[in-house]
Structure 1
């Protein structure tokens, strides 16, 4: 399957649809994150068209770079698993019988905590990082995504409700869970920007420094999976304990 290219977000949505339509029975649990991500990508596209962002062309380029990291991991796993980053490998290998919400969160962890800083670096060059005014615009557009995601929380919760039975407690906690989702998405996005800056410093230093720091981020993101699989009300727990990961100062 070809990766989406310069055609932009529309090509990303089409690439996701192609993968949705070719999921095998053994891959069915991957539908939860993939379908959620496709709908969210469509929401970003509509926000671009509405003029929500300061630099819509940059946001579109970022969205394509971001999606390609997921699609590459998805396709590599289908091809045998070589080169799949650990957070994605653990997400793909999770038990198929997990509730749909857990599969979505496993994908969100790999994609936001691990992929997103890399996607931002792909569309913010070393020279652009030195331009404070430009970097501020990039950061504001990055933060503006929070509004797009928050607007999707209720709709995505309803979509997941159609994929699995919910207990009386689940239904009673639904408003709290939606607020918790919005909170941890904002929290993780702030940490993503911190990690992007840390990775940028490493790429300026040397390719080896960058590889070391990226490997640290990969391990931190993979370690989050234990929290996502622990029993209990996962969204409420994440709202309190946090969802994002933070790269420490370099050794």
Structure 2
């Protein structure tokens, strides 16, 4: 696969940025952040940062498609939009940009990402320990791409809202907190992917039950993201990810 896959994703995100209506302005921050991050992943693929760049690109396209489908479904009236995405799309207009971005990350990482991983790790690959470990390592390498983006995204968001003296003093701490919770949530994503895999081996019904659990857990996380106070520092302590419990 060439790099057209990720380039097409970047173009699709740009098309939606260009057509945002005034009523959709709260969606701009996550959409723009996601586009910049996707561009950074494409650069990492080009410079050989992954063990299997073709797999990473296929995964990135599937992953983005889950967001684009949710975005388009919300535009079309909201039919079939998951709870985490509905809460993100319905964010109050006066919510600070950082919080808007975090609502999108919650829906896309905690809820969408395990589904995207399953889509590009077929059942037989779970039976190949060496290959599965390679997939897990590439999954974790995305952390490096995201961590590199933290400071740049912080600066980008700073241009969108007035910074208090306290905010500026906390910036280095907030950046470290972001790196920490990204790593923590990625480990939990892998756990949830394995749990969903075990369910899909049983039956489509068993998978649907577990996915519904993940949807509820991800939606419940919104309360942490909207609570007053220094949200990034709180997430560094309490964690950003969600964990599927053992099946009932």
So what's the TM-score if we normalise by structure 1? 0.97
Q: Give the Cα–Cα distance (whole angstroms) in 2 for the partners of residues 97 and 115 of structure 1.
A: 26
DSSP-derived class of the 1:187 partner: helix
- From 74, 89, 93, the equivalent of 2:90 is 93
Does residue 161 of structure 2 align to residue 159 of structure 1?
A: no
2:188 corresponding residue in structure 1: 191
2:232 corresponding residue in structure 1: 235
Q: Give the Cα–Cα distance (whole angstroms) in 1 for the partners of residues 4 and 145 of structure 2.
A: 22
2:120 corresponding residue in structure 1: 123
TM-superposition CA deviations, 1:95-118 (whole Å, max 9, x none): 011000000000000000000000
DSSP-derived class of the 2:57 partner: helix
How many aligned positions are there?
Answer: 246
- From 195, 212, 228, the equivalent of 2:209 is 212
Q: Give the Cα–Cα distance (whole angstroms) in 2 for the partners of residues 29 and 166 of structure 1.
A: 19
Root-mean-square deviation (CA), in Å? 0.7
DSSP-derived class of the 1:173 partner: helix
So what's the TM-score if we normalise by structure 2? 0.98
2:75 corresponding residue in structure 1: 78
DSSP-derived class of the 1:138 partner: helix
- From 46, 60, 63, the equivalent of 1:49 is 46
DSSP-derived class of the 2:49 partner: coil
TM-superposition CA deviations, 1:109-129 (whole Å, max 9, x none): 000000000000000000111
Q: Structure 2 stretches of 5 or more lacking a match?
A: none
Q: Give the Cα–Cα distance (whole angstroms) in 2 for the partners of residues 162 and 25 of structure 1.
A: 20
1:61 corresponding residue in structure 2: 58
Q: Give the Cα–Cα distance (whole angstroms) in 2 for the partners of residues 136 and 151 of structure 1.
A: 24
Which stretch shows the higher mean deviation, 162-171 or 57-66? 162-171
1:114 corresponding residue in structure 2: 111
Offset at 1:29?
Answer: 1.1
Offset at 1:166?
Answer: 1.2
- From 19, 24, 27, the equivalent of 1:22 is 19
Q: Which runs of 4+ in 1 moved over 4 A?
A: none
TM-superposition CA deviations, 1:63-117 (whole Å, max 9, x none): 0000000000000000000000000000101101100000000000000000000
Q: Structure 1 stretches of 5 or more lacking a match?
A: 1-5
